[in-house]
């Protein structure tokens, strides 16, 4: 309603001095007003200075390195949880299909093993039927390994007392048959990152350190990583977290920044989706929902399979421990298979989706004194065939977190089963430490999967059987971890082009509470170090 031009301005009336104000009162009022103005100006100045300082703070660039399944992407999720919680939560629902896929993959892996002990399938040569846990290897010393492949692909021996599985097991296995198709459908919807297929072949631990290799000889798969896979789920139309306009804006920004750098295009949070993903979105949506429905209808049978003592004994005889493998959710099968299931924070952290190429995560610190600061985290695919893509990211970074899973001292690389996994980590670490381009980059080592190391040693696996140099030291997790750490430290000291401080942490990055503290320490350390070098400059 328009104000009557004749009536007085209500604001002017409200702040007008009292009509019967004495000269003394007037003086006091003016003093108060002047003081208020000064405080207000000081606050404005403070805000201006803070904004200016924020602008000056450059983006912190962090690169995560390590072999496949070392825990790099899980570490990124911990950064997101700590500093970009809202963004983490916005992605949460899209992880449902990944958790479902992880669940059915565990079941199908168990079924593979069970089928192989049935007399009529005992000689199956199905490569999928290989036990999950590789056999123990012997390593002569930390950097001097002569692997033989005699016990590679050992065939499970059928129980000599006859097949332990009865008719009800067979019926259960048949009823779970539809989960094969569910796995295929989910893998198709989520793309290449959702499969664990790796190119086998020898390959080098660190291709950039091999003579004759030229940095341009690589290709980066930009659409098939974590973000690509989640992007597909989003593209399926059920989950519209961002408007298409926002996506388009981000895509344009990404293209502009790529044009300024010689780096290949990393898949970023901006979900570079293929148009095919949009076209197929509806079909994918239906497949994901149909998969969820089949999973819900199989919940009781999945639970029965996992809790069956005979099945447990068959798995144990075959050396298969799915509960120690990636993306294991069978302890929570009823909750996850239920209709209306939404992943929890913990589910997202534990969900396994391998990284293809290099993925860029922009984390804008949401709260605290550093709100508004930006972290750029590059998460790389760790399989040997994907390491070619790392080198261009070595330029212009503030720090590297290198993840070495120390539970795998007796395991082999999936992509080259002649190579011991701990050995591969040590070779990779050596290559990173000795790379001249990284001479002044802060390296932080996460000796990861300490929880699994503890479990492995508790069930009687002896370190010395795979690492003879371990000698007569007690077979205890703390001592083993300390020993492994000393190997990495020794490499850092001997192979760094210029002396560097050795920073290391014993971690289990699926433990988000403990990792939160580690991540905070690392973040502060990186920032402080950066500040220090800025002062020296
Ligand atoms: N128990 C346990 N599991 C872990 C730990 N760290 C990672 N994982 C699990 O190991 C699996 C692999 O972790 P990722 O973070 O995907 O490994 P990555 O290094 O990114 O692997 P790529 O993308 O293939 O290079 C996931 O299922 C994680 O939940 C850990 O400390 N303890
Ligand atoms: Mg990854």
Is 312 labelled a binding residue?
Answer: no
Ion ligand 2, residues whose Cβ is below 5 A away: 72-73, 355
> Three-class SS of residue 201?
coil
Rounded Cα–Cα distance for residues 365 and 367 (Å): 6
Lowest mean pLDDT among 417-421, 479-483, 529-533: 529-533
Q: Looking at residues 509-534, what average pLDDT do you find?
A: 82
- Is 355 known as a binding-site position? yes
> Does pLDDT of 445 surpass 60?
yes
H or E element: which one contains 247?
helix 244-259
Is residue 352's pLDDT more than 90?
yes
Domain boundaries defined on the chain: 62-92+355-536, 95-350
Comparing 171-175, 230-234, 302-306, the range with the smallest average pLDDT is 230-234
Q: Is 354 close to ligand 1, i.e. is its CB under 6 Å away?
A: yes
Query: What pLDDT, on the 0 to 100 scale, is given for residue 512?
Result: 94
Q: Who wins on pLDDT, 461 or 125? A: 461
Higher pLDDT, 492 or 237: 492
For a ligand 1 pocket test, name from 67, 68, 72, 74 the mutation site with the most ligand atoms within 8 angstroms of its C-beta.
74
CATH 3.30.70.20 assigned to 62-92+355-536? no
pLDDT per position as a tens digit, 21-55:
899 989 998 999 999 999 999 998 888 887 676 65
More confident residue, 366 or 165: 165
CA distance 358 to 190: 17
Per residue in 390-413, pLDDT tens? 999 998 899 999 999 999 999 999
Report the pLDDT value the prediction gives residue 431, as an integer from 0 to 100: 95
Cβ of 179 closer than 6 Å to ligand 1, yes or no, is no
CB-based contact 189:277 (threshold 8 Å): no
pLDDT at 215: 41
In SS3 terms, 81-124 reads as HHHCHHHHHHHHHHHHHHHHHHHHHHHHHHHHHHHHHCHHHCCC
CA of 352 to the centre of ligand 1 (A): 7
DSSP state of 386: G
pLDDT at 50: 72
- Output the CA 145–ligand 1 centroid distance in Å: 25
Residue pair 279/238 in contact (Cβ under 8 Å)? The answer is no
Ligand 1 centroid vs 434 CA: distance in angstroms?
Answer: 26
What is the pLDDT of the chain when averaged over all its residues?
A: 80
C-alpha distances (whole Å) from 462 to each of 10, 313, 454, 466 are 84, 22, 11, 8
| Structure-block tokens of residue 263 | 């780096």
Burial of 163 (0-12, 13-18, 19+ CB in 10 A): middle
Place 473 in a pLDDT band, splitting at 50, 70 and 90: very high
Query: With bands split at pLDDT 50, 70 and 90, how would you rate the model's confidence at 256?
Result: very low
Cα(59)–Cα(152) distance, rounded to whole angstroms? 46
- Is 449 flagged in the annotation as binding? yes
Rounded Cα distance between 464 and 474, Å, is 10
Paired strand residues for 405: 448
End-to-end CA distance of the chain: 63
pLDDT of 493 higher than 90: yes
pLDDT at 304 over 90: yes
Q: Is the pLDDT of residue 123 over 70?
A: no
Q: Rounded to two decimals, what is the model's pTM? A: 0.76
Whether residue 203 has its Cβ less than 6 Å from ligand 1: no
pLDDT at 467: 96
Check if 384 has its Cβ closer than 6 Å to any atom of ligand 1: no
Confirm or reject: Cβ of 322 under 6 Å from ligand 1. Answer: no
ipTM for the complex shown:
0.99
Three-state DSSP class for 509?
Answer: coil
**Structure confidence at residue 36 (pLDDT):** 92
């Amino acid at each position: 309603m328009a104000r009557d031009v004749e009536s007085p301005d209500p604001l002017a009336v409200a702040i007008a001095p009292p009509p019967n104000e004495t000269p003394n009162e007037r003086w006091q009022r003016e003093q108060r007003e002047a003081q208020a103005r000064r405080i207000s100006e000081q606050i404005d100045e403070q805000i201006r200075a803070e904004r200016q300082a924020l602008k000056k703070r450059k983006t912190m660039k962090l690169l995560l390195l390590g072999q496949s399944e070392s825990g790099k992407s899980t570490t990124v999720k911990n950064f997101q949880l700590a500093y970009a919680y809202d963004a983490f939560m916005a992605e949460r629902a899209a992880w449902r299909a990944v958790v479902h896929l992880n669940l059915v993959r565990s079941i199908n892996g168990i079924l593979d093993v069970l089928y192989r002990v049935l007399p009529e399938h005992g000689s199956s040569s199905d490569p999928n039927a290989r036990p999950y846990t590789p056999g123990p290897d012997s390593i002569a010393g930390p950097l001097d390994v002569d692997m033989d492949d005699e016990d590679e692909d050992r065939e499970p021996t059928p129980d000599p007392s006859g097949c332990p599985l009865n008719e009800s097991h067979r019926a259960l296995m048949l009823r779970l048959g539809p989960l094969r198709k569910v796995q295929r459908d989910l893998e198709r919807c989520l793309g290449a990152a959702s499969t664990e297929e790796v190119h086998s072949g020898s390959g080098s631990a660190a291709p950039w350190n091999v003579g004759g290799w030229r940095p341009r000889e690589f290709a980066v798969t930009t659409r098939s990583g974590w973000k690509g896979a989640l992007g597909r789920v989003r593209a399926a139309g059920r989950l519209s977290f961002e408007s298409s306009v926002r996506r388009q804006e981000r895509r344009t920004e990404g293209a502009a920044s790529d044009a300024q750098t010689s780096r290949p295009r990393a898949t970023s949070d901006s979900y570079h989706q293929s148009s095919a993903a949009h076209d197929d979105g509806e079909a994918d949506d239906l497949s994901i929902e149909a998969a969820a429905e089949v999973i819900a209808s199989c919940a009781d049978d999945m639970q029965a399979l996992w809790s069956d003592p005979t099945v447990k004994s068959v798995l144990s005889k075959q050396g298969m421990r799915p509960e120690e493998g990636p993306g294991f959710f069978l302890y929570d099968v009823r909750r996850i298979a239920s209709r209306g299931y939404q992943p929890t924070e913990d589910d997202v952290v534990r969900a396994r989706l391998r990284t293809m190429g290099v993925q860029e995560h922009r984390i804008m610190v949401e709260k605290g004194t550093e709100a508004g600061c930006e972290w750029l985290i590059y998460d790389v695919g760790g399989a040997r065939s994907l390491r070619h893509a790392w080198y261009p990211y070595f330029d212009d970074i503030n720090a590297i977190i290198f993840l070495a899973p120390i539970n795998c001292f007796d395991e082999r690389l999936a992509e080259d089963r002649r190579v011991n996994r701990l050995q591969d980590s040590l070779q990779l670490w050596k290559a990173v430490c000795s790379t001249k381009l990284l001479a002044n980059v802060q390296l932080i080592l996460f000796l990861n999967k300490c929880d699994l190391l503890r479990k492995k040693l508790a069930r009687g696996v002896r370190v010395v059987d795979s690492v003879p140099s371990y000698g007569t030291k007690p077979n205890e997790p703390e001592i083993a971890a300390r020993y492994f750490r000393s190997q990495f430290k020794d490499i850092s000291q001997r192979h760094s082009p210029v002396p560097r401080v050795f920073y290391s942490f014993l971690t289990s990055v699926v433990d988000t509470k403990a990792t939160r503290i580690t991540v905070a320490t690392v973040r502060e350390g990186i920032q402080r170090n950066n500040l220090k070098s800025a002062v020296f400059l």
